DNA sequence: TTATAAAGCTAACGACATTAGTTATCCAAA
DNA sequence: TTTGGATAACTAATGTCGTTAGCTTTATAA
């Protein structure tokens, strides 16, 4: 019975590799244990069952995403900040498809750690939008729109929803520019709901 | 052994009710069989296992969605057609959250029926966009952007990703108007990628 | 050197999907 | 009206997975 010396970090890293390589559905206690050369009940010494494992993966992913966004946006303002944010979001989702899936699982009600981790990602978007001339509710709506844009594109790309052989990066840039142009129009008050 | 006389329609309907009420994860052969007062192996007389059930639910959902879009868009053109399409998409996703989840499952490679059913939904969007002054690749990009918008919003709303007590319908309308304004700017050639 | 906490293990249970083989029902043809 | 076949239900059994309970060994600190 050689003792592996497994710790939370390598556990999460291994689970992440599994998810990114074969999809989140491939992450089971059985498959993770096998990859770690361990029997699945032993995992309960580190994790409180499968739901807790998935939750910790989501937390880990949100932390990574938040810091990636913060890093790429740093020093930029206005349109450039929005572009950098969007690029970084897309890059993260492409680099960590399984982790990205984990992030999308709806958290339990009253899970403060998840709320906080998610709030930090949203905070990056808020920061970018806030110095954009949008105030109050308008800024909050804009944040929601950006999140919808990004998540929708990433999600459709990941599931292969875009069938045609048309450059996806072009679509993505076009989407961001369309948003920027639309926001300017709206900001200038040329419309009413 | 009373014979139920189960047919494909009631089977799909029951599965849909289950999915819409308790989420797609709650749709198992066991739970579906229980709801039908049947033993789960009996389901194999109607369905080729759980993956096939989920696939048929997706097909059913795509058909419903496609006809809903077609119905609501009928007779409208330009901005109004886009608005009607978006409203109908959102309404469907809200009315059938479980079925909407089923639609999002990535189809197998070479599943022609799924490709076709998905293509009909995309076709509705193409039809709306095509008479919009966008031609060729630009139209295809626009279709992708609309799909991203819609799916992203629906998906975030469904998983409770929008925490704040700010009217979601307002955000949605704002998102659509932002897109319309942005597209006009882009169509007028005021930007370059 | 020894006691204790922790990290691994085996055994066992329940839920689920799935397969094989059985029986009863329905319907259509004789 | 009878009969035969297709079909829709069933039971039994297997394998996988998550999970719990309880045991054993290792590492570490007293």
| pLDDT tens readout for residues B46-62 | 999 999 999 999 999 99
User: Which 13-52 residues of chain A approach strand C with CB closer than 7 Å?
Assistant: 37-39, 41-42, 45-46
Q: Which of A58, A111, A129, A144 to mutate to test the interface with B (most CBs of B within 10 A)?
A: A144
CA of A14 to C1' of D30 (A): 36
pLDDT at A192: 53
CA of B1 to C1' of C23 (A): 9
Contact A23/B at CB under 8 A: no
Q: How far is CA B13 from CA A79, B9, B35, B43, B95, in A?
A: 48, 6, 11, 14, 14
Q: Is the pLDDT of residue A42 over 70?
A: yes
pLDDT at residue B193 above 70? no
Helix A168-187 and helix B137-158, axial crossing angle in degrees, nearest 10: 70
Inter-chain CB pairs, A–B, below 8 Å: 142
Q: Is A146 helix (H, G, I), strand (E, B) or coil?
A: helix
d(CA B140, CA A90): 20
What does the pLDDT read at residue A99? 98
Q: Is the dihedral of CA B105, B106, B107, B108 positive or negative?
A: negative
Q: What mean pLDDT comes out for the span B175-191?
A: 87
Identity of the residue in A115, A140, A162 whose CB atom sits nearest the CB atom of B164: A140
- Is any Cβ of chain B less than 8 angstroms from the Cβ of A171? yes
Q: Point out the residue among A149, A190, A193 whose CB comes nearest to the CB of B173.
A: A193
Tell me how far apart the alpha carbons of residues A34 and A42 are, in angstroms, rounded to a whole number: 11
- Among all protein residues, pick the one whose CA is nearest to the C1' atom of D25: A1
B4 Cβ nearer than 7 Å to chain C strand: no
Tens of pLDDT, residue by residue over A133-146, are 888 889 999 999 99
Q: Out of B29-38, B87-96, B130-139, B176-185, pick the least confident.
A: B130-139
The stretches of chain A forming alpha helices (DSSP H) are 8-22, 29-35, 50-73, 78-95, 97-104, 112-130, 137-158, 168-187
Confidence bin at A131 (pLDDT 50/70/90): confident
**pLDDT tens-digit profile of A165-188?**
899 999 999 999 999 999 998 887
What are the structure tokens assigned to A24, written together?
A: 């989140």
CA of A97 to C1' of D21 (A): 37
pLDDT interval class at B109 (50, 70, 90): confident
Q: How confident is the model at residue A114 (pLDDT cuts 50, 70, 90)?
A: very high
Query: Class for domain A50-191, per CATH?
Result: mainly alpha
What residue has token string 């992440």? A16
For chain B, which residues make up each domain, given as ranges?
Answer: 50-191
Q: How confident is the model at residue A5 (pLDDT cuts 50, 70, 90)?
A: confident
Is residue A51's pLDDT more than 60? yes
Shortest distance, CA A1 to any CA of chain B (angstroms): 38
The conformational region for residue B29 under phi > 0 = left, psi -120 to 50 = alpha, else beta, is alpha
Q: Does A26 touch chain B (CB under 8 A)?
A: no
| Residue A48 to residue A57: CA distance in whole angstroms | 13
CA distances to A26, B55, B107, B145, B154 from B103, in Å: 20, 8, 9, 18, 13
Would the CA dihedral through B76, B80, B83, B84 be positive or negative? negative
Angle between helices A112-130 and A50-73 (to 10 degrees): 20
Task: State the burial class of residue B1 (Cβ atoms within 10 Å of its Cβ: 0-12, 13-18, 19+).
Answer: exposed
Q: How far apart are the first and last CA of chain B?
A: 68
């Amino acid at each position: 019975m050689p003792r592996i010396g497994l710790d939370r970090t390598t556990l999460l890293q291994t689970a992440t590799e599994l998810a990114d390589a074969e999809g989140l559905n491939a992450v089971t206690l059985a498959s993770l244990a096998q990859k770690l050369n361990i029997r699945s009940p032993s995992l309960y010494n580190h994790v409180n069952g499968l739901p807790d494992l998935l939750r910790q993966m989501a937390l880990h992913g949100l932390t990574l995403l938040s810091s990636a966004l913060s890093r790429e946006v740093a020093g930029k303002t206005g349109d450039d900040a929005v572009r950098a944010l969007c690029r970084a979001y897309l890059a993260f989702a492409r680099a960590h498809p399984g982790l990205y899936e984990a992030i999308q699982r709806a958290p339990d009600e009253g899970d403060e750690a998840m709320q906080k981790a998610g709030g930090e990602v949203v905070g990056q978007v808020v920061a970018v939008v806030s110095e954009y001339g949008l105030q109050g509710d308008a800024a909050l709506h804009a944040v929601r729109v950006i999140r919808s844009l990004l998540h929708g594109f990433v999600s459709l790309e990941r599931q292969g929803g875009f069938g045609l052989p048309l450059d996806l990066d072009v679509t993505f840039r076009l989407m961001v520019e369309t948003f920027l142009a639309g926001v300017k129009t709206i900001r200038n008050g040329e419309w009413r709901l």
